[in-house]
Each structure stands twice: as structure tokens, then as C-alpha cells.
Structure 1
Amino acid sequence: MISTDHKGNLVAVTVFGEFTLADYREFEELVNYKIQFVGTVDLLFDLREMAGFTLDLAWEEIKFSREHAHDFRRIAILTDDQWVTWSAWISQLFVDAEVQVFSSDEDARAWLGVAAEATP
């Protein structure tokens, strides 16, 4: 299950439990809308409550990233999981965006240039 929030050029996604293909498609729809009407997007993924992800989601993420390689400015990922951290660095191969991993929401939002009180 995911929770999404968006303001300006920021799309924030929090994942709870297993991250599924249906969740990812919801995210894709929101991002496509923002790209169409706002332009380049910043992403904030909070994966601290994620229990895992499905294989079809992983494949969809690679395809989506390649299709939108130039549509992201910065991608902040909140996690304490080493596997997620490693996969975040691999994701940089598919996008032009700066990708950083954080353990603190405040640090991630500061890096993105978003006020901490904008937390969903």
C-alpha cells in the first residue's frame, strides 16, 4: 500500500508493507500527470515501512525509469535497509537525476529544498 502527496514539482510516496505493481502504477499515473503539467519532478520515496516488493514491480520500475530518464531533478530515498540503498545506486544508471539515500525525513526534504512542515 502507498500514500502519495504532491505539491509543486515534488511527489512524495510512502510505502507500507509490500510494494506492488498496482501501487507502482498509481505512482506512475501521478508522476506522468506532474511531468505533463509541471515539468521536471523531484521524488521523495519513504521506504522505511516497506516489507518488500514484487518482481513485476522491479521490472516496471526499470522500464519507467528508462522512459523518463530526463524527467527527474532529484530523487531522495528514505531507508535504513542496505539492499534498498544498493538498489538506489543502481537506479542512477537509468536516470539523469541526482539520487541520495537518507535515514532522516528532515535531511531528505532539506536536500530537496522542501520545508519539513510539508510532511504528508
Structure 2
Amino acid sequence: MISISKQDSLITVAVAGEFTLNDFRQFEDEVLYQVHLGSKVNILLDLRDMLSYTVDVAWGELAFVREHGSEVGRVAVVTDNQWQAWSAWVSGLLTDADVVVFSDYDEAEKWVSAWPTESE
């Protein structure tokens, strides 16, 4: 299950339980809509309650990052899971976005919200 909220150029996504392809498509649509408005998007991705994801989500994520990675400014991933942190690191290699993993939600929100006012 996925929960998405938007404020200006920040999209906040929380995943609970299994992250499915339908959930990913919702996320993708939100990002593409924001990009269509003409601005880079920042993403706060809260994975603390994610239990699993389907293989098609992983494949979809890689394709999305390769195609739209230059349209993202910052991605803050909140997780304590080593595999999710590793996945975020790999995704960061495929994009121009600044991807950082946090264990503290408030720190992640502060960091991702500072862009573009903070010097890159």
C-alpha cells in the first residue's frame, strides 16, 4: 500500500506492507505530473513500514530512474533495512539526483526540503 502527498516540488511517499506495481505506477504518475509542470521534483521516500516488493517494481524502478533520473533533484530514503539502503545506493548510481539514505524521518525531511535553496 502506498500513500502519496505533495507540497510544491516535494513528493512524499510512504509504503506499508507490499510495494506493488500498481503502487509504483501511482508514484510514477505523480512524479511525471510534477515534471510536466516544468520543475524538478524532490522525493521523500519512507520505507520503514515496507515489508516487501514485487520483482516488477524493482524492474520498473530501474527503468524509471534511467529515463527520468535527470528530472529529480533530491531523493531522501528513510529506512533501517540494509537491503533497501543498498537498493537506494544502486539507484543513485543511475541518476543525476542526489540520493541519501536516512534512519531518521525528520532529518530526511529537512534535507530533502532544503533543495534548491541550499547550495549544491
TM-score, normalised relative to structure 2: 0.92
Percent of paired sites with the same residue: 46
SS at match of 2:75: strand
Structure 1 gap segments, 5+ residues each: 115-120
The Cα offsets for residues 67-100 of structure 1, whole Å up to 9 and x where unpaired, read as 1021011000000000001111100121101111
Runs of 4+ in 1 over 2 A off after TM superposition: none
User: Pairwise mapping of residues 100-115 of structure 1 onto structure 2 (< 5 A)?
Assistant: 100-113=100-113
Q: Which residue of 1 is the match for residue 19 of structure 2?
A: 19
Distance in 2 between residues matched to 1:57 and 1:112, nearest whole Å:
23
Shift in alpha-carbon separation, 1:72–1:99, aligned structure 2, 3 A: same
Q: Compute the RMSD of aligned alpha carbons.
A: 0.9
Q: Which residue of 2 is the match for residue 117 of structure 1?
A: none
Distance in 2 between residues matched to 1:100 and 1:63, nearest whole Å:
20
State how many pairs are aligned. 114
TM-score, normalised relative to structure 1: 0.92
Distance in 1 between residues matched to 2:75 and 2:64, nearest whole Å:
14
Please tell me whether the aligned partners of residues 8 and 38 of structure 1 are also in contact (alpha carbons under 8 angstroms): no
Please tell me whether the aligned partners of residues 66 and 94 of structure 2 are also in contact (alpha carbons under 8 angstroms): yes
